[in-house]
């Protein structure tokens, strides 16, 4: 009976009267997640050849963080910590095997909170949590899952069937790609008028492997011109046990699964002469994503929501393409954890600014609450970045905490990266003097005071 009454009331009363106080004035949020995007975008210069005019255009309308990091270097824990606002060491979600609701059953995700406390409609599509299904249905009013089709790109001629080379051009139109179908859905939502403020999340599954995108994106990067990342042949020699293990094995910390079943990725890539091809393919896949980010931005510009929408674009962790002779993610170095993070929108965000302060994805939840005027929520591990969005040069001495597996942590400050593994093994890098992290300073006693200071920031609570 109560439900019938409520339904009748809903029909009689304009939606705005049913929203929490102030909700009708709140900005919308267009939330763009990009899977496995490191800092290889034009304006960040992570790779000198990267062509991303649309992500650069977005950065021109807001603040882009040059030292933005994930809190865990793989999909599931990175996304769970962003959406729950809880660090991996406080949730126990470390790898792709743990489920958020098993570990932190009562958590209120960003989407749930915006919907309940903020009066938002929350919609998502594509890949937001790990997996392209509506993982955690409680988080969404609606979830879009386009149909997938199996597509395999063209491999180099003569490459043995067992060679690890999940990359190559596709002979299909963009419209057949999963991500494009999902962007089309998000565009259709942007074209509508909405009677509540909206949180619209569009999750790209690229540039995650496999790097299969239409030929035209490969044509943007001629193979013979490709520049490889800077590497040092002896780089691993000064790593402690766990650092070396993560560099070699590429395994998921939530289980014994070894992702690289073919031996070392780097050996495989170099043995078959695929290094340049792989770099080309990652760049091509990033440009594919960028093209369709551009369509989203155009659709927003052409819509009635253009003046009242915050745009957030983020990658979920970094990616190695041979640095430390390592590939993929699954480790605690700068390259494994560095991401693209751009926030743009209404007047509370500066325009065309780079911010050099270290920040991370855990800060997004409280930042969006502050920017939308939704009351802050107790118990979040992040801190609002709104002050940096107003003044990107202001002081910010809060370090970033990153975690890969139980009691393996990295601390990033403006100057240093300190890594400490569960067995006490350590790495210390001078981020200013040695941005490639080639020289591990941890064994030298003159750095003991620096290490002691950085150790203070390590999480003291570590959930198994």
**Stretch 311-350 residues interacting with Ca ion (CB under 5 A):** 316
Is residue 36 involved in binding Ca ion (CB under 5 A)?
yes
What is the three-class DSSP state of 450? helix
CB closer to Ca ion, 23 vs 37? 37
In the list 117, 156, 238, 252, the residue contacting Ca ion (rule: CB under 5 A) is 238
Is residue 136 involved in binding Ca ion (CB under 5 A)?
no
Residue 421 phi/psi, 5° resolution? -95, 170
The yes-or-no answer on residue 90 being catalytic is no
CB closer to Ca ion, 128 vs 368? 128
Is residue 75 involved in binding Ca ion (CB under 5 A)?
yes
Q: Pseudo-torsion of CA 288, 290, 295, 296, nearest 10°?
A: 120
Is residue 189 involved in binding Ca ion (CB under 5 A)?
no
Q: Specify whether the CB–CB gap between 260 and 248 falls below 8 A.
A: no
Stretch that binds Ca ion, among 282-290, 296-304, 370-378, 433-441 (CB under 5 A): 433-441
Phi-psi region of 34 (alpha: psi -120 to 50; beta: other; left: phi over 0): beta
| Number of neighbouring beta carbons within 10 Å of residue 309 | 21
CB closer to Ca ion, 73 vs 197? 73
The yes-or-no answer on residue 202 being catalytic is no
Helix (H) or strand (E) holding 282, with range, is helix 275-301
Catalytic residue among 75, 320, 326, 409: 75
How far apart are CB 317 and Ca ion at their closest, in Å?
6
Stretch that binds Ca ion, among 53-61, 231-239, 358-366, 454-462 (CB under 5 A): 231-239
Q: Which residue is nearest to Ca ion (CB)?
A: 75
CA distances from 414 to 153, 356, 448, 454 (A): 41, 8, 18, 12
| One-letter-per-residue 3-state SS of 208-258 | CCCEEEEHHHHHCCCHHHCCCCCCCCCHHHHCCHHHHHHHHHCECCCCCCE
Catalytic residue among 43, 130, 266, 292: 130
Stretch that binds Ca ion, among 45-53, 68-76, 357-365, 377-385 (CB under 5 A): 68-76
CB closer to Ca ion, 116 vs 443? 443
Q: CB-based contacts of 415: which residues, under 8 Å, 6+ apart?
A: 430, 431, 432
Using CB under 5 A, list all residues that contact Ca ion: 35-36, 75, 235, 238, 316, 438
Tell me which residues are annotated as active site: 75, 130
């Amino acid at each position: 009976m109560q439900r019938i009454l409520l339904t009748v009331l809903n029909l009689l009363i304009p939606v705005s009267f049913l929203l929490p106080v102030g909700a009708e004035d709140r900005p919308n949020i267009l939330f763009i997640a990009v899977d496995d995007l490191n800092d290889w975008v034009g304006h960040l210069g992570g790779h000198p050849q990267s062509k991303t005019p649309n992500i650069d255009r977005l950065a021109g309308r807001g603040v882009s963080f040059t030292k933005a990091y994930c809190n865990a270097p793989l999909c599931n824990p990175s996304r769970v910590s962003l959406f729950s606002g809880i660090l991996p060491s406080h949730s126990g979600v470390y790898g792709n095997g743990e489920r958020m609701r098993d570990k932190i059953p009562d958590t209120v995700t960003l989407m749930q909170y915006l919907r309940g406390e903020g009066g938002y409609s929350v919609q998502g599509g594509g890949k937001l949590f790990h997996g392209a299904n509506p993982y955690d249905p409680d988080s969404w009013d609606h979830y879009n899952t386009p149909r997938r089709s199996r597509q395999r790109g063209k491999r180099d001629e003569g490459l043995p069937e067992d060679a690890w080379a999940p990359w190559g051009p596709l002979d299909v139109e963009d419209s057949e790609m999963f991500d494009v179908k999902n962007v089309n859905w998000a565009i259709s939502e942007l074209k509508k008028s909405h009677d509540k403020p909206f949180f619209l999340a569009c999750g790209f599954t690229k540039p995650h492997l496999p790097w299969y995108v239409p030929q035209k994106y490969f044509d943007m990067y001629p193979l013979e011109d490709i520049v490889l990342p800077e590497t040092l042949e002896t780089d691993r020699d000064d790593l402690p046990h766990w650092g070396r293990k993560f560099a070699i094995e590429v395994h998921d910390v939530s289980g014994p699964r070894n992702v690289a079943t073919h031996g070392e990725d780097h050996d495989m890539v170099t043995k078959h002469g695929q290094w340049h091809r792989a770099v080309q393919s990652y760049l091509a896949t990033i440009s594919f994503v960028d093209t369709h980010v551009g369509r989203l931005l155009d659709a927003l510009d052409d819509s009635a929501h253009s003046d009242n929408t915050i745009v957030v674009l983020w990658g979920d962790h970094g990616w190695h393409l041979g640095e430390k002779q390592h590939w993929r993610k699954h480790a605690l170095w700068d390259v494994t954890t560095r991401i693209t993070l751009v926030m743009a929108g209404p007047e509370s965000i500066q325009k065309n600014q780079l911010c050099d302060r270290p920040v991370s994805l855990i800060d997004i939840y409280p930042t969006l609450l502050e920017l939308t005027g939704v009351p802050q929520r107790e118990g979040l591990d992040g801190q609002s970045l709104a002050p940096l969005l107003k003044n990107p040069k202001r002081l910010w001495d809060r370090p970033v905490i990153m975690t890969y597996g139980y009691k393996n942590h990295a601390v990033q400050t403006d100057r240093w990266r300190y890594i400490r593994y569960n067995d006490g093994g350590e790495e210390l890098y001078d981020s200013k003097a040695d941005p490639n992290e080639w020289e591990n300073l941890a064994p030298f006693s003159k750095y003991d005071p620096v290490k002691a200071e950085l150790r203070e920031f390590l999480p003291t609570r570590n959930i198994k």
